[in-house]
C-alpha cells in the first residue's frame, strides 16, 4: 500500500467493522493508528512488510528493550493484516518467529472460602485498635472478593458511586474506559454501611465527591487510599497467613480475589444447572471484561474449571448426529 491516507482509511474501516461485531478495540485501535502514523513518518511505499512492522514494534514509547513488549505490540497488528490481505494480497502477516512466542497467560491462585475469611479477619485486626485502618482494609478486600472489582476500580470509588439504598456501585475508571453498574448482595451492602458509618463518625469527609476508601496516616489522611499502600498491607497479611500458592504467579495476589469471584460464580451456576453459555455474557458485563472471550478463558486455564470444560465437551460429543436435510 503506497498512499498513507489510504492506510489510515483502511484502519478506520477495519475498526468500524470490528466494533459492529461487538469487539472492544481500545488497545488495538491505539496500536493500529500509531502504526499508520509510523508508516507515514518513515515514508514507506509498497506492500506492508514484516520488516516495517517490526521496526514500529521496537519503537515503543517507553523505550522498552524487552522482546516480549515488542511481540505484544506486533500481535495488535496481526488481525488487521489478515483482513487487509483481501484488498492488498502482498501484505505480510507477522507471526511468533519475529520476536519469539509470548509467554502463556498464568493461572491464578483461586482462594478457598476459608482463605478469604482468614484474610478479612487478619485485616480486621490491623492496628491501631481505636482507628479505622482495620475496617478499611477488611472492607476493601471483602468488596473485591464479593464483586470481582479490580483494585483500581475499588480505590477510585467516590461516596456518590456507592448507593447503599439501591445496592448499586457505579464504576467509572475502568480498565477499558467504560462505565458500568454493579449490583451488590445484601450482605455486601451491610458491610459497606457499617464501614461508612464508622468512617463518618471518625470525622472524615462524608461529601458526595469524597473518596470512599481513605488513607488514615500522615499526609495521606482523608485522601484516596493509595494502591501501593494496599499492596504493601496485603503482602504483610499474606506472609502472616502462610498460604500455599496454587497459582503460577510468584504468590497469591489481590487480583486473584477477582479471579476467584469469577470461578466461584461459574462453579455455582454449574451446580445449579444454569446454562453457562447463557450466563457468561452477563458475567462478562458484570466484571467489566472487554470481550466475553476473556471470561471463557477461565474454562480452559483454571484447574478448578477444567473438569467443567471437559464435561461440556463430552456432553457435546455424546449428542446424536443430525443428518443433513
Q: Which of 238, 255, 270, 312 is catalytic?
A: 255
- State the Cα–Cα distance between residues 35 and 52, nearest whole angstrom: 9
Residue 3 pLDDT exceeds 80 = no
Residue 321: pLDDT band (50, 70, 90) is very low
Residue 267: pLDDT over 50: yes
> What is the spatial distance between Cα 228 and Cα 235, in angstroms, rounded to a whole number?
11
Please give the pLDDT value at position 303.
66
172 noted as active-site residue: no
pLDDT-based confidence at 175, cuts 50/70/90? low
Whole-angstrom CA distances from 251 to 57, 144, 227, 248, 280 are 31, 18, 18, 8, 28
**Confidence check: pLDDT of 319 > 60:** no
Residue 320: pLDDT above 60? no
Residue 310, pLDDT above cutoff 70: no
- pLDDT tens for residues 35-55? 999 999 999 988 999 999 999
Give catalytic status of residue 228 as yes or no.
no
Is 150 annotated in the active site? Answer: yes
| Active-site annotation holder among 150, 199, 259, 264 | 150
Task: Confirm whether 68 is a catalytic residue.
Answer: no
Q: What is the Cα–Cα distance from 199 to 273, expressed in whole angstroms?
A: 42
Of these residues, 14, 286, 296, 298, which one is catalytic? Answer: 298
Please confirm, yes or no, whether 10 is among the known catalytic residues: no
Q: What is the pLDDT of residue 301?
A: 63
Q: Is 312 a catalytic residue?
A: no
| Rounded alpha-carbon distances, angstroms, from residue 30 to 41, 131, 156 | 17, 45, 24
Can you give the pLDDT at residue 307? 62
Whether 240 and 125 have beta carbons less than 8 Å apart is answered as: no
Among the options 19, 90, 172, 175, which is catalytic? 175
Residue range 3-27: mean pLDDT, rounded: 78
Quote the mean pLDDT of the chain: 85
**Catalytic pick from 258, 259, 264, 265?**
258
Amino acid at each position: 500500500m503506497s498512499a498513507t491516507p489510504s492506510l489510515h482509511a483502511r484502519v478506520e474501516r477495519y475498526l468500524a467493522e470490528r466494533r459492529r461485531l461487538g469487539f472492544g478495540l481500545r488497545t488495538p485501535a491505539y496500536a493500529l493508528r500509531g502504526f499508520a502514523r509510523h508508516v507515514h513518518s518513515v515514508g514507506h511505499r509498497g506492500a506492508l512488510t514484516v520488516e516495517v512492522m517490526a521496526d514500529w514494534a521496537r519503537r515503543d514509547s517507553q523505550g522498552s528493550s524487552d522482546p516480549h513488549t515488542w511481540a505484544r505490540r506486533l500481535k495488535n497488528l496481526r488481525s488487521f493484516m489478515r483482513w487487509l490481505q483481501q484488498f492488498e494480497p502482498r501484505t505480510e502477516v507477522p507471526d511468533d518467529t519475529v520476536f519469539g512466542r509470548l509467554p502463556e497467560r498464568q493461572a491464578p491462585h483461586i482462594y478457598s472460602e476459608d482463605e478469604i475469611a482468614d484474610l478479612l479477619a487478619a485485616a480486621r485486626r490491623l492496628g491501631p485498635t481505636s482507628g479505622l485502618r482495620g475496617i478499611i482494609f477488611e472492607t476493601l478486600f471483602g468488596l473485591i472478593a464479593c464483586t470481582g472489582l479490580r483494585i483500581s476500580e475499588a480505590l477510585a470509588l467516590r461516596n456518590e458511586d456507592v448507593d447503599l439504598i439501591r445496592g448499586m456501585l457505579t464504576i467509572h475508571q475502568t480498565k477499558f474506559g467504560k462505565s458500568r453498574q454493579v449490583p451488590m448482595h445484601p450482605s455486601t451492602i451491610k458491610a459497606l454501611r457499617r464501614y461508612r458509618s464508622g468512617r463518618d463518625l471518625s470525622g472524615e469527609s462524608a461529601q458526595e465527591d469524597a473518596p470512599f476508601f481513605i488513607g488514615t496516616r500522615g499526609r495521606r489522611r482523608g485522601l484516596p487510599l493509595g494502591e501501593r499502600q494496599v499492596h504493601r498491607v496485603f503482602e504483610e497479611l499474606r506472609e502472616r497467613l502462610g498460604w500455599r500458592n496454587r497459582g503460577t504467579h510468584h504468590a497469591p495476589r489481590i487480583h486473584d480475589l477477582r479471579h476467584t469471584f469469577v470461578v466461584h460464580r461459574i462453579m455455582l451456576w454449574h451446580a445449579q444447572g444454569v446454562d453457562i453459555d447463557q450466563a457468561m455474557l452477563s458475567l462478562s458485563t458484570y466484571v467489566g471484561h472487554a470481550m466475553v472471550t476473556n471470561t471463557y478463558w477461565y474454562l480452559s486455564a483454571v484447574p478448578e474449571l477444567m473438569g467443567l470444560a471437559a464435561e461440556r465437551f463430552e456432553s457435546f460429543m455424546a449428542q446424536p448426529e443430525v443428518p443433513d436435510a
